[in-house]
Amino acid sequence: MIRALTVLAATCRVGSDPPARERFAGVDALVARPRGGSGPAVVYANAATARGIDEPAVGRFLAGLARVGFVAIAPELPTVRDGEVTPATIDALVAVAHAAGPHVSLVGASTGAGLAILAAGDSGLAHRVDSVLAIAPYASLERILRLATTGYYGDRPFDAAPLVARATVRSLLACAPGDPAVPALVQNRDPERFDALYAALDPSTRELVEEVSPASRIARVSAPVELLADPSDAFFPVEEARALARAGGDVRLTVTPALEHVRPRLRPGLVQVAAALERTLRRAADVQPAPSLRPSPAR
C-alpha cells in the first residue's frame, strides 16, 4: 500500500519537473524511468483535456510511478485532446503498449479508461497485458450518444458536463464522416426519437460505435481489471462502470466518493483508491522487469 500512496502523493504534489518527452511508436509521449533505468512498464492513457499530456498531474503521476520502480509512459494519443475517439486512437495505444516491452500494464482515466480497456482486449496485445486500471470509464458509446444529444441516460434526465456532448458528437462525426444519417441523430434532442435515428445509421457506422465501446471488448481482456468510479460522476454515470463489471471476466469495481471524476480527494474511501492502484502495480511488478526502454524513431 505504501507504493500506491507514494504515487498518489506525488500526483497531488505541485511543482515537480515534468518527465522527458520522447517518441514511441510514432507518437509523442512523456516517459519517466526509475533510477535504475528499467522496470515493469505502465502505459497511461489520458483523459480528454485541452492540455493533453502536458496536464501537470499527468507528469506528476508518471514521476510517482518511476519513484516506486516503474517505467511510466503517457502517449499523446491522436485526437484525444479534442475529445475524439476513433479506431485509429485505439490502434495508437496498442502500438505504444507493444513498444513498451514484452509485458505491460495499462492505466487510463475517463476517455483514457475506455481506451485502456479497448487496447487490453486487442487480440494481438491481450496476452502481454498484466493488469488494467480504468478510472471513471464509459462502457457504451451508444448510451453516451443518447446522453450527449438528448440529455437522457436511459429513461432518466442526466445533467452531464458539456464536454461529454462535444466529445461524443466529435467522435461520431470522425468515425462516420460520410454517413448521411449522422446529422439528424446529433441534432436530435428528443429521447423518444433516439432509437429510430440510431437505427437509421449505416450498419458500418453502428459497427464502428460498437468497436469503440469498451463493453464490447472487456470480455476479451485476460488480465485482471480494476474499475474505479465516482458515484456522482458528472461525465459518465456510474452505471457505465457497473455495466463493464458485468460484461467482463476478472473485474473488480470500486465505487467511492473519494474520486471527483478522476481526481482523488481526501474523503472516506481514499484507501480503496490506493488499494486498487496497489493491486494493479503489484500485478505489474510480478513479471520480470523489462529492459530499459529506448525511444522509437520519429515518424
Instruction: Give the separation between CA 191 and CA 31, rounded to whole angstroms.
Output: 44
Separation in Å, CA 44 to CA 57, 62, 174, 264: 12, 8, 23, 16
Give the DSSP H or E segment for 72: strand 71-75
In this prediction, residue 152 has a pLDDT band, given cuts at 50, 70 and 90, of very high
Backbone φ and ψ for 94, nearest 5 degrees, come out as -60, -45
27-74 per-position pLDDT tens digit: 999 999 988 778 899 999 999 888 889 888 898 899 889 988 899 999
Question: pLDDT band at 258, cuts 50/70/90?
Answer: confident
Cell 510480478: give the residue.
Answer: 286
The predicted structure's pLDDT at residue 289:
53
Contact of 42 with 107, CB cutoff 8 Å: yes
Mean pLDDT of all residues in 78-94? 89
Vertex 37: Cα angle to 33 and 41 (nearest 5): 55
Give strand pairing partners of 152.
157
In this predicted structure, what is the pLDDT of residue 14? 60
Contact 47, 53 (CB under 8 A): no
Query: Would you say residue 292 has pLDDT above 50?
Result: no
pLDDT value at position 257? 92
Indicate the SS3 state at residue 33.
coil
How many CB atoms neighbour CB 178 within 10 A?
Answer: 8
Percent of the chain with pLDDT over 90: 60
- Over the stretch 109-121, which tens digit does the pLDDT of each residue have? 999 999 999 999 9
As a whole number of angstroms, the distance between CA 273 and CA 282 comes to: 14
Place of cell 507514494: 6
Domain 2-139+214-285 CATH superfamily: Alpha/Beta hydrolase fold, catalytic domain (3.40.50.1820)
Q: Are strands 71-75 and 41-45 parallel, antiparallel or unpaired?
A: parallel
Q: The C-alpha cell of 243 is what?
A: 455495466
- Enter the pTM of the model: 0.91
Please enumerate in sequence order all residues whose Cβ is within 8 A of that of 244, keeping only pairs 6 or more positions apart, or say none. Answer: 117, 134, 137, 139, 214, 215, 218, 225, 227, 251, 253
11-29 tens-digit pLDDT: 777 656 678 888 888 899 9
C-alpha grid cell for residue 158? 442526466
Question: Has residue 139 got a pLDDT over 80?
Answer: yes
**Cβ-Cβ contacts under 8 Å for 20 (sequence gap 6 or more):** 30, 31, 32
pLDDT for the residue numbered 31: 93
All CATH 3.40.50.1820 domain ranges of the chain, comma separated, are: 2-139+214-285
C-alpha cell at 183: 446529422
The size of the chain, in residues, is: 299
In percent, how much of the chain has pLDDT > 70? 93
- 138 HSE (CA, 13 A, CB side): 28
Output 85 or 241, whichever has higher pLDDT: 241
pLDDT of residue 270: 86
Cα 43 from Cα 218, distance rounded (Å): 18
- Residue 296 sits at φ, ψ, to 5 deg, of -80, 155
The string of pLDDT tens digits covering residues 182-224 is: 999 999 999 999 999 999 999 999 999 999 999 999 999 999 9
Residues 142-167 have a mean pLDDT of 93
